[in-house]
Amino acid sequence: MRKIFQELYATTRLLVPKGRYRWQLLFLVLIAASIPVTELLVAKLFTDLVVSGSSRPMVEIVISASLFALLFAGTRAANYGQKTYRVKFFDKAFGSDTRERSSTKESWEWALGLELVNVLSFLTQAFVIAAFFFVLNWTFALLNLLLIFGFLQLLGNFLKKQLKKQRGFVEAKRNKQKVNPAERLGSRIQQAEFATLLASFAIVGLLGILIWFSLESWLDLSSTIVFFLGLRILNTTFSSISSSLMRFARAKANSF
């Protein structure tokens, strides 16, 4: 796990100039991280509205429904803005860099920068979702947090191996040695998908625990549904972290 954060920190220092650009990067990451939590809040509002809507005052129902619609539209707008603005962000950040570099190296740095934002965003999303879970039930949230740490530890080992492989491919290319495309692409995809597969098995285990908690009445129906949706989002987030991190390794090996 430490390997992941070391590489992300070092890459941020290399690509993003000090000052306002790093604050803008933080802002982009926080926007992306807020989206899934807002979606979970929307799900919580929706399930509360459906489960106990008929027994609530009409004014409260109207307020909840309006807040639900506002948050739902806000998440879509925030997602669009974050994904489009990051291109402008790196255009300005790279434009302020006075280093001389070839067009090929510049292309790889663009790829590295975009994957840097992706990985930072998805990692922050995972931990923000974990924090939101503590609001609902701290016991289940703690199990979920242990899963996140275990997944990142596994992924850190995969990243270390993938960086070594990708640097080997770069050296082979410089020495004009032929590298099989299936091997170059396959190693990255295989590791990403294997990590995702293991994470999915762990998520299934947590879903089993969630059912047990619900049957024992340790969770109400609304919270159970939100936990279920949150685990689905977290599973997708794990897949995104894994894929982005392997692409990050390829771009890092080709950039520096």
What is the number of structural domains in the chain? 1
Residue where the block lists tokens 């809507």: 53
Give pLDDT, residue 154. Answer: 93
Q: What is the average pLDDT across 180-185? A: 72
* Rounded CA separation 7/256 (Å): 12
Rg (CA), the chain: 21
User: What's the average model confidence in pLDDT over 82-98?
Assistant: 73
Q: How confident is the model at residue 131 (pLDDT cuts 50, 70, 90)?
A: very high
Residue 244: the pLDDT is 93
- Per-residue confidence at 98, pLDDT binned at 50, 70, 90? low
pLDDT above 80 (res 12): yes
What is the Cα–Cα distance from 151 to 143, expressed in whole angstroms?
Answer: 12
What's 242's domain CATH number? 1.20.1560
Q: Which domain holds residue 13?
A: 2-255
- pLDDT for 101 equals 57
Q: Does the pLDDT of residue 96 top 90, yes or no?
A: no
CA-CA distances (angstroms) from residue 203 to 64, 92, 144, 216, 227?
A: 31, 40, 9, 20, 11
pLDDT given for residue 4 in this prediction: 92
CA-CA distance, 4 to 2, in Å (whole number)? 5
The answer to whether the beta carbons of residues 112 and 251 sit under 8 Å apart is yes
The length of the chain, given as a count of residues: 256
pTM for this entry: 0.84
For residue range 40-81, what is the model confidence (pLDDT) as tens digits? 877 777 777 776 655 566 666 667 667 767 776 777 777 777
Render pLDDT for 223-249 as a digit per residue (tens, 0 to 9): 898 899 899 999 999 999 999 999 999
Provide the pLDDT for residue 90.
78
Cβ atoms of 199 and 150 within 8 Å: the answer is no
Q: Read out DSSP for 110-159?
A: HHHHHHHHHHHHHHHHHHHHHHHHHHH-HHHHHHHHHHHHHHHHHHHHHH
Q: Over the chain, what is the mean pLDDT?
A: 84
